[in-house]
Chain A
Amino acid sequence: MANVLTACPFCGSGCNLYLKVEDGQLTGVLPSSSHPTSRGKLCIRGWHAHEFVSHPERLRSPMVRKGGKFERVSWEEALSLVAGRLGRGADVGVVGSARCANEDNFLLMKLARCVLGTDNVDFSSRPQRIADLAALSSTLGVNCATNPAPELAGADVIVLVGADLVPEITMIASLVYEAVARGAKLVVISPVRTELAELAEVSLQPRLGTEPVLLCGLLKSVVDQGLIDSSLLDRDWDAYDQFATDLSQFTLDSVEQRTGVAADAITRAGRLYGEARRSAVLYSSGLAQHPAAAAMATALADLVALTNHLGQPSMGLYPLARQNNFQGALDMGLAPGMLSGGQSLGSAEVRQRFEQAWGCRLPEPACKSLPDMLGGVKSLYVMGADIVGGAADPAQARRDIEALDLLVVQELFMTPTAELADVVLPAAAYAEKDGTATCADRRVQRLRKAVDPPGEARADWQIIQELAGRLGASWRYDSAGAIWAEIASLTPSYADITYDKLDAGWGAYWSSANGAGERLQLKGLSLQPVECPPPPVTDAEHPFLLALDPAAERWTTDATTLHSDNLRREYQIAAADFPAGHVEMHPDDAQELQLRQGFRVKLASAHGEAELQLKLSSDVLPRTLVVPYHLRDTVRDLFGGPAPGQVEGHLVYSPVAVSVAAAQR
């Protein structure tokens, strides 16, 4: 039984585990005892990280749609067909994945820019993060975690915003547990009560849609209590005065009135965060996928900047990622207008360096993100991404994809997106290839091959190289390591990272212009005003507010968890209990309406109707309804089309006022 050390393929924590291998088969996992983040622990997903790899439904050979049916074909035939029919320039789009290795994503990015001549490059989970990451950049100058995750265990105060950490990103929750066990105080801000709120010193539950207002109240309380430290603001008092003036409307009384959160609780939270030196702020999908994500991320960045809680151990800001290589996919330049390490495609110096290294002309920036590509390109090349499953509007995404001349999908399983493809190419899973991944705290780690891919499946980068060869390129990468050398040579932030360095310890942190390595030292911050959207309004006819909860059961629709027996069972419990889909309601409301758990209810808004089953939960506030994000298609009509809100072409679902009644049987 060999033990192959690798990074877990599920969330952005970056836990390390050993894959157990016997006779060329994966037979289980063992957590690494000494990894700094996972510390000998794993979550339920990590404990089953071997399962999907050896699932019998893995794609084993290339397939081409002929007469409406998939037929197995040779690699030769499949790649020739793709090379012959894939568009060029503005006609083609390329989509990578936060699930693939850095080497795969980098080569896909190079294929797009160097061979296909297009800037239509993105990865599937980026559009929903555009708003919050851009907001961080505006204030802090960086849009990533400022500190290593293990430092969270040493924090004295931790503020969690829009994060249901335990089910979502378990090992980060574990670090929070460790801090709390040491005596740290926890501040939890979420309209839906989460498991960690049980351990919180202060738990703030604002009304749906008023989270940005609450965060402004928190900022105001920090300012009012004199807990700011201006040293990071370059003593730019004019800017500060303007900022304070903008905040002045958020008196705690008015914030209490708008959010339903008591003024003294906000004051207490502000004091806890402001007074403690080691104060860290975490947020996750509940903020990132919020309709007002930009406002909320701005407020948090302002909070960190105002208090100078940066640059020292156990401080800073952690935007958490739910996918193992989200940060890496960003770093590899899978975004329009951007090359690796955040280098701008519009910069003459950058272009020259890449063109010289690659011996090609780069396309001009086109800035088409994935939502723009759908409906805007003729052919689409997709690697490891379920666009339909991940789209804000799956039905529309399906229509857009069906209208394409050519869809190529490189995948592990027959996902809803692969079902629509013209050509399906079987790819190797994380355990079947070498490479690297960059987890949410910027730690770059090795992925190591433990077993061979099934059937004829190949590593993503090998498939891309083969295709590039048919399109006239003559790349000669003999290993993932050869690609890594190129990444490091062209990407300043990754420049000093080698496989040897990664192998010697537990990976390495990439650095940036803002300071090297583990902790980002930020200078010259600029406080940004927080633009709070108007809070949603109910009326007598529609007395309830309904929102989608992105945190809930994130893993229910993921191909990897669906192909792991125990995980599938666990994540499908709600679906089995509530076959028609469920909406969460506070028990008091249910009693008033004479409704019980499991009842089918009709929800109606000004735009339309939807039917679901009732799930009673004290985690939601009275007069509040929550539907898990993966049921967004079921409740689509409540939000009304055209889209109620868009960020960079990415649809967002703002809370909507609805009525509830028992459905007619």
Chain B
Amino acid sequence: MSRALKLQKSRWPEWVAALQRTAAVIAPVRLHGEDVAFERITSPSEITLDFDNTADPPKRFLFPQVEPLLRYRRNGGYAVEPVYDEEPRVFFAIRCCDVSAVRFFDFTLGAQDLPDSYYTARRAGTALIALACHEPCQSCFCVCADTGPFLPPGGGYDIQLTDLGGEHYLAEVDTDKGEALVAAAAELFAPASDDDLAQRRALEEASEKRFPSEPRLYFAASSRKVSLDTAEAELWQRMARWCVACGGCTHICPTCYCFNVTDAQRNGDGLRSRRWDSCQYAGLTREASGHNPRPEQSDRVKRRVFHKISYQYVARDGMQGCVGCGRCTRICPGLRLGLPEVGEAIRRAEWK
């Protein structure tokens, strides 16, 4: 299925313009100062490819912070009408960690036995054009999570772009969706040579070497201790002193999907929505009786780490819940509760 093409670097805007004719293009845009985020673009000129990674993943376009689920109206009983978003979208220049996170969503929200129909409706029309990484970010560790800096075929992208350093991008087309994206501007593409593929492999190796020699997170060791729950309660308690319960680590995480469901009514018309929620909030698990199975913040910090790297979830979902983007390290007001920092504390059984 997979094939490799070449795209002249200077001509990617033409390709994006062609893609815009049939889909909304979601791409990295420079905002104020150093901020870069995914945005629905109106013109290819808005896109920046000069970024390490975006402030947040493109999660919102598949699982929005506020997502309408259904409208209802009182008419003696209720008239109920679901709200599905099936807009065709292309994520352009999405990093490999974030591609892997979409793959994780496909296993969880898109699970065969219990699909989340709102997610699958959005996902069906979404194509992913990945941009491989030559440089690690300040806090990422995809090499530890096995989610980057380049992805192999079957890694979840429809097309993966690699900057070959000269005049071209290599475009690895991995799916029918990817073929359709190429077909939108087929004249821009040429077959890639064996040299190009060798160059890509060399670039991947070079990129991996640029990561710190000491892993940011020893997944196997931390996962074992978390799965077997051998970390001392006191360790969690000491970590939780640095937690302000903002929920940021879960909101920014490309694989978190907790939500709360709320109704808004006005004049007999109602809208049911879901909103991002967080396992770091005490109210998420507080039961109507008043009982809270996770009464302390330390229980909640532990809960998040469990869901990211405990083996029971890896077994259930087909992959671990952390893709190594490192955003939780940067989002943490306490500065120390990113997954690598917590994982390291668990592995070493110490928290300074």
Contacts and interface: CB of A to CB of B under 8 A. Distances in A.
Contacts of B38: 1
Contacts of A31: 55, 248, 331
Interface string A1-36: 111010000000000101010000011111111110
A499 interface: no
Interface in A575-612: 576-577
Interface string B32-44: 1111111110000
Contact of A566 (B40, B281, B332): B281
Contact of A174 (B35, B264, B281, B334): B334
B34 A34 contact: yes
Contacts, number: 132
Contact of B61 (A1, A2, A565): A1
A56 B242 CA distance: 36
Nearest to B35: A33
A46 B246 CA distance: 9
B11 interface: no
Contacts of B39: 1-3
A55 B260 CA distance: 15
B290 interface: yes
B60 A173 contact: no
B262 A29 contact: no
B283 interface: yes
Nearest to B261: A565
B336 interface: yes
Contacts of B60: 1, 20, 27-28
Contacts of B281: 44, 566, 569-570
Contacts of B283: 566, 569-570, 573
A28 B64 contact: yes
Contact of B330 (A33, A43, A46): A33
A195 interface: yes
Contacts of A29: 65
Contact of A41 (B61, B276, B332, B336): B332
Interface string A168-202: 00110110011001000000000000010011000
Interface in B268-323: 275-278, 281-283, 286, 290
A18 B37 contact: yes
Given A27-B66, A573-B282, A40 B330 contact: yes
A522 interface: no
B124 interface: no
A40 B331 contact: yes
B56 A42 contact: no
Q: How large is the interface on A (under 10, 10 to 19, 20 to 34, 35 or more residues)?
A: 35 or more
A153 to B, nearest CB: 10
A296 B56 CA distance: 43
A506 interface: yes
Contacts of B29: 3
A198 B296 CA distance: 15
A30 B248 contact: no
Given A43-B333, A170-B246, A565-B260, A3 B241 contact: no
Contacts of B2: none
A177 B334 contact: yes
Contact of A28 (B55, B241, B276, B277): B276
B187 to A, nearest CB: 31
Nearest to A16: B32
Contacts of B265: 56
Nearest to B273: A565
Contacts of A573: 282-283, 286
A562 interface: no
A292 B264 CA distance: 45
Given A32-B35, A565-B275, A573-B282, A177 B65 contact: no
B158 to A, nearest CB: 21
Interface residues of B, number: 48
B186 interface: no
A3 B31 contact: yes
B242 A177 contact: yes
B247 interface: yes
A40 B35 CA distance: 9
Contacts of A18: 31, 35, 37
A166 B244 contact: yes
Contacts of A177: 242, 333-336
B264 A55 contact: yes
B55 A30 contact: yes
A302 to B, nearest CB: 32
A16 B164 CA distance: 37
Nearest to A57: B266
Among A29, A30, A195, the most chain B Cβ lie within 10 Å of the Cβ of A30
A343 to B, nearest CB: 33
B241 A570 contact: no
A77 B36 CA distance: 48
Nearest to A175: B333
Contacts of A566: 260, 275, 277-278, 281, 283
Interface string A557-568: 000000001100
B192 interface: no
A44 B241 contact: no
Interface string A26-70: 111111111100001111101100110001100000000000000
Contact of A3 (B26, B37, B277): B37
Interface in A429-488: none
A203 B290 CA distance: 33
B263 to A, nearest CB: 9
Nearest to A25: B66
Among B29, B60, B65, the most chain A Cβ lie within 10 Å of the Cβ of B65
B245 interface: yes
Contacts of A55: 264
B168 interface: no
B251 interface: yes
16 contacts: A1-B40, A2-B39, A18-B31, A27-B66, A34-B32, A41-B332, A41-B333, A42-B246, A44-B281, A47-B246, A56-B265, A174-B334, A177-B335, A199-B242, A565-B262, A570-B283
Leading 8 A-B pairs by shortest Cβ distance: A28-B65, A174-B333, A34-B33, A569-B283, A34-B34, A198-B241, A56-B264, A56-B266
Interface of A: 1-3, 5, 16, 18, 20, 26-35, 40-44, 46-47, 50-51, 55-56, 166, 170-171, 173-174, 177-178, 181, 195, 198-199, 505-506, 565-566, 569-570, 573, 576-577
Given A44-B244, A506-B33, 9 more contacts: A1-B60, A3-B31, A30-B56, A33-B55, A44-B246, A50-B66, A565-B262, A565-B275, A569-B281
